[in-house]
Chain A
């Protein structure tokens, strides 16, 4: 089954304790991205990756790191989490059409993170 898998789905942690949210897709998609969703602010892009070893900042990259060593995986790293990073996180992937654009995004089920 074609899917984007995120783990963990739920996490409560404390300020400063490094954590990684994994994202894996089995559709051979080139494009992968991370979003956070907050009430009143909608979905905001954190980082995106056009292909292996190619990553770029989105709108809200501060406090986050990513890596794209393999095509299927795109982990989100919070080196020193803070309470303002409490949010619902989504990973997404797509196969961009020839030319221009992101194409249809396939989303994971979300990871709800609470930082105390």
Chain B
């Protein structure tokens, strides 16, 4: 079973359009992270959210963690070709065996000039 569900799996948008990617868990998330990956390369950290209702922005990317700390959204405003890549959410999830870090399955974003 997948601890973190991401949607959509892929997204193709015209340059300049806004878009949203969602990340959902059935368990409480103790630290929610967003990463970006260029195809075949390593992941780059975007931002981290820890508190319910927290929202952070960096340039044209905004991420929010809901009050219940089980869902996060990543919003890109006025998308550009440089935004293309795979976006992954990651989270610390407490299990009986202890804290473990999981990634979502990723969202592939294509931005058409």
Q: Is the CB of A100 within 8 A of B41?
A: no
Q: How far is the CB of B76 from chain A (nearest CB, A)?
A: 20
List the B side residues contacting A104 at CB < 8 Å. Answer: 33, 45, 48
Residue B113 at the chain A interface, CB threshold 8 Å: no
Residue from A42, A48, A112 within 8 A of B101 (CB atoms): A48
Most chain A CB neighbours (cut-off 10 Å) among B31, B42, B99: B42
Q: How far is the CB of A49 from chain B (nearest CB, A)?
A: 12
A19 and B48 CA atoms in complex are apart in Å by 35
Interface size for chain B: under 10, 10 to 19, 20 to 34, or 35 or more residues?
20 to 34
A112 and B40 CA atoms in complex are apart in Å by 9
Which residue of chain A is the closest to B3 with respect to CB atoms?
Answer: A59
Interface size for chain A: under 10, 10 to 19, 20 to 34, or 35 or more residues?
20 to 34
A43 and B105 CA atoms in complex are apart in Å by 7
Which residue of chain A is the closest to B88 with respect to CB atoms?
Answer: A43
Residue A87 at the chain B interface, CB threshold 8 Å: no
Residue from B43, B92, B101, B104 within 8 A of A107 (CB atoms): B43
Residue A75 at the chain B interface, CB threshold 8 Å: no
List the B side residues contacting A103 at CB < 8 Å. Answer: 31
Most chain B CB neighbours (cut-off 10 Å) among A43, A45, A107: A43
Residue A114 at the chain B interface, CB threshold 8 Å: no
List the A side residues contacting B100 at CB < 8 Å. Answer: 45, 48, 58-59
Given contacts A41-B105, A42-B105, contact A100 B99 (CB under 8 A): yes
* CB-CB contacts below 8 Å: A42-69 with B: 42-45, 48, 56, 58-59
Binary flags per residue of A73-116, CB closer than 8 Å to B gives 1, else 0: 00000000000000010101000000011111111111010000
A-B contact pairs, 25 of them (CB 8 A): A40-B105, A42-B88, A42-B106, A43-B43, A44-B103, A48-B100, A56-B98, A59-B100, A59-B102, A90-B42, A90-B43, A92-B43, A100-B31, A100-B92, A101-B92, A102-B92, A102-B101, A103-B31, A104-B45, A104-B48, A105-B35, A105-B43, A105-B90, A105-B101, A112-B40
Which residues does A use to contact B, with CB under 8 Å? 4, 33, 35, 40-45, 48, 56, 58-59, 88, 90, 92, 100-110, 112
